[in-house]
Structure 1
Amino acid sequence: MVIGASGQIGRPAVAALARDGWEVTAASRGGGRDESWGEGVRAVRLDRSDDGALAAVVGDGCDLVVDLVAYGAGHARQLTALADRIGSAVVISSVSVYEDDKGRGFDTQGEPDGFPAYPVPVAETQPTVAPGEATYSTRKAALERELLAKGEELPTTVLRAGAVHGPYSPLPRELYFVKRHLDGRGGRVLAYGGESRFHPASARNIAELVRLAAGRPGSRVLNACDPQAPTVAGIGAAVDAVMGVEPETTLVDGPPPGGAVGQTPWSVPLPMVCDMSAAEQELGYRPVVSYQDSLPETVEWLRRRLAEGDWRECFPLLARVYPDLFDYAAEDAWLAGA
């Protein structure tokens, strides 16, 4: 059973498991299907917050539960309460649980000197934030702790995903470049010299990790990212190549020079790059797609979505996180005075 099957990771995960011979029940709030799924995939509606509904879908038992929408200790306990009916689990977490040797993490980024200085690359042995219910990161940490503590009862592979990308994303970072090209912008400004690195993770590569972990049950934590972590300038160039444009890039040393000017969804002062060697060694993981090769389908999906209306309505989560992503007036004013 795949919980959250209609989402960004769920669609390719269901398809990968079905191709591997699993009989898959695809559970989601709407109960929808993806065109890539075969007729053998059973789609059902599921309210994740309803304990009884979850237990009913699990039924008398299943060999595997893949949970793509779990947050916090409560969701972990929902799964472990059904441990006698579940063979093993694969659960998605996040690289945001990591903290540096000074206790800084994703939750401290907005504080003075609060951006974490992670080792390059970050291995799974890196310390994590204290579990709790206050933030996304602390809830993911609580989810992990609860599941791993019950590893003998329910063997669970926890996958710490990076900056997830691909079609059906609620937070499509690539929109920063795609929309600018569609709007006819001839240039862009990139802070930190365009050298920011925030490790991306293709939904298709995460699906491959899900498939591999399904075949090798165990209690473990693994990073889930792409084979490379390109710079933000490199990402921009890759999108340019897909869309056939050659814009002018203005690089700024240091942080954004004013407001959101120069700020992208990948712009970080220090790199966040993850070590993928553990997944290679434990699961035999080999990525199924590179960042660059994954872009055409993402760009085409974004084109279609933008044709439906204003970007804020199409991607409300992105608009809340990055409200000034396309403040062209501020950008033009800064360029005029630069």
Structure 2
Amino acid sequence: MVIGATGQIGRVAVGALATDGWEVTAVSRGGGRDASWPDGVRTARADRADDSALAAAIGDGCDVLVDMVAYGPEHARQLTNLAGRVGSAVVVSSVSVYEDDKGRNFDTQEQPDGFPEYPVPLPEDQRTVAPAETSYSTRKAGLERELLAAADELPTTLLRAGAIHGPHCRTPRELYFVKRNLDGRRRRVLAYGGESRFHPASVHNIAELVRLAARKPGARALNAVDPDAPTVAEIAVAIDAVMGVETESVLVDGPAPAETVGDTPWSVPHPVVCDMTAAERELGYRAVARYAETLPDTIAWIERQLAGRDWREAYPKMFQNYGDLFDYAAEDAWLRA
């Protein structure tokens, strides 16, 4: 059973599990189905916030419960309350649960010298933030802690995803370069010399980890990222190549020179690059997709979403999270100066 089946990762994971021989029930608020799913996939309508609706969807039980949309400790308790009817679980978490050895994490990044400086590559035994109700990261940490503590009742594999990419994303980082190319912008400003690395995670690689974890239940937290971690400058060039354009990168040492100039969704002062050794060892994981190979589908999806619409209408959550990513007047003024 897959909760959040019609979301970005869920669509691919349902298909991967069904192809692997599982009888899959795809649960979502709308009860819809994806055209790519095999005919045998069943659908069910349920809001995961509604305990009784979710319990009814599970019915007599399932061997594996895959949860794409669990965000806090209350969702952990919701799952453990179903332990008698569920064999094991696979739950998507986030690399944002990590903090560095000085206590810096994603929640402190706006403070002076507040961005975390993780080991490269970042292993799963790196310390994590304290659970709390204060942020996405602390709630994910609370989710993880409760599920791992309940391992005897419900063995759960937690997948700490990086910068997720692929079609159906509500906050596609690739939009930053795709829209610039569509708008005919042939110069771009990149902070930190274009060397920032924020490890991407393809929906196809996450789905492969889901498939493998379903076959091999256990109590564990594993990183979930691509085999490569390109720099932001390399990402920009790869997107240009798919779109058939040439763009000059203006590289800036250090942080963005102005609030809306050069600060991409990947721009970070220290690399966030994760280690996948544990997944390879414990699950026999091998990546099924590389970042550049998946870009054509991602870019085509973004272009369809943008067609005839203001980007803020097409991607309201992107605007909410990042603000004005396309302040061309500010960019031009800085470039002239």
1:83-122 aligned at under 5 Å gives the runs: 83-122=83-122
Secondary structure of the equivalent of 1:9? helix
Note the C-alpha offset of 1:308. Answer: 4.6
**1:285 matches 2:251:** no
1:318-337 aligned at under 5 Å gives the runs: 318-337=318-337
Note the C-alpha offset of 1:104. Answer: 0.4
**C-alpha distance after superposition, 1:16-75 (max 9, x if no partner):** 000000111101111111111011111111111100001101101100100000011100
Whether the aligned pair in 2 keeps the contact of 1:8 and 1:203 (CA below 8 Å) is yes
Name the aligned partner's letter for residue 253 of structure 1: D
Note the C-alpha offset of 1:279. Answer: 0.4
**C-alpha distance after superposition, 1:203-250 (max 9, x if no partner):** 110000000000000111100000011000000010011001111110
CA–CA distance in structure 1, aligned partners of residues 5 and 244 of structure 2 = 33
Secondary structure of the equivalent of 2:56? helix
CA–CA distance in structure 1, aligned partners of residues 34 and 172 of structure 2 = 19
Whether the aligned pair in 2 keeps the contact of 1:308 and 1:314 (CA below 8 Å) is no
Name the structure 2 match of 1:309.
Answer: 309
Name the structure 2 match of 1:176.
Answer: 176
State the Cα RMSD in Å.
0.6
Name the aligned partner's letter for residue 103 of structure 1: G
Name the structure 1 match of 2:31.
Answer: 31
What are structure 1's unaligned runs of at least 5 residues? none
Aligned residue-pair number: 337
Name the structure 1 match of 2:229.
Answer: 229
CA–CA distance in structure 2, aligned partners of residues 57 and 33 of structure 1 = 16
CA–CA distance in structure 2, aligned partners of residues 187 and 22 of structure 1 = 49
CA–CA distance in structure 1, aligned partners of residues 136 and 105 of structure 2 = 12
Secondary structure of the equivalent of 1:282? helix
Name the structure 1 match of 2:212.
Answer: 212
Name the structure 1 match of 2:164.
Answer: 164
CA–CA distance in structure 2, aligned partners of residues 308 and 51 of structure 1 = 40
**1:199 matches 2:196:** no
Name the aligned partner's letter for residue 171 of structure 2: L
Name the aligned partner's letter for residue 242 of structure 2: V
**C-alpha distance after superposition, 1:254-292 (max 9, x if no partner):** 000111201000000000000001001100111111000
CA–CA distance in structure 2, aligned partners of residues 257 and 234 of structure 1 = 21
CA–CA distance in structure 2, aligned partners of residues 60 and 31 of structure 1 = 19
CA–CA distance in structure 1, aligned partners of residues 259 and 83 of structure 2 = 49
What are structure 2's unaligned runs of at least 5 residues? none
**C-alpha distance after superposition, 1:310-330 (max 9, x if no partner):** 111111111111111000000
TM-score when normalising by structure 2: 0.99
Structure 1 runs of 4+ aligned residues shifted over 4 Å read none
Whether the aligned pair in 1 keeps the contact of 2:45 and 2:57 (CA below 8 Å) is no
Name the aligned partner's letter for residue 106 of structure 2: F
- Identity %, equivalent residues: 72
Which 10-residue stretch deviates more, 39-48 or 165-174? 39-48
**C-alpha distance after superposition, 1:136-192 (max 9, x if no partner):** 000000000000000011010000000000000011000000000111111100000
Name the structure 1 match of 2:254.
Answer: 254
CA–CA distance in structure 1, aligned partners of residues 202 and 328 of structure 2 = 29
Name the aligned partner's letter for residue 124 of structure 1: E
CA–CA distance in structure 2, aligned partners of residues 326 and 253 of structure 1 = 21
TM-score when normalising by structure 1: 0.99
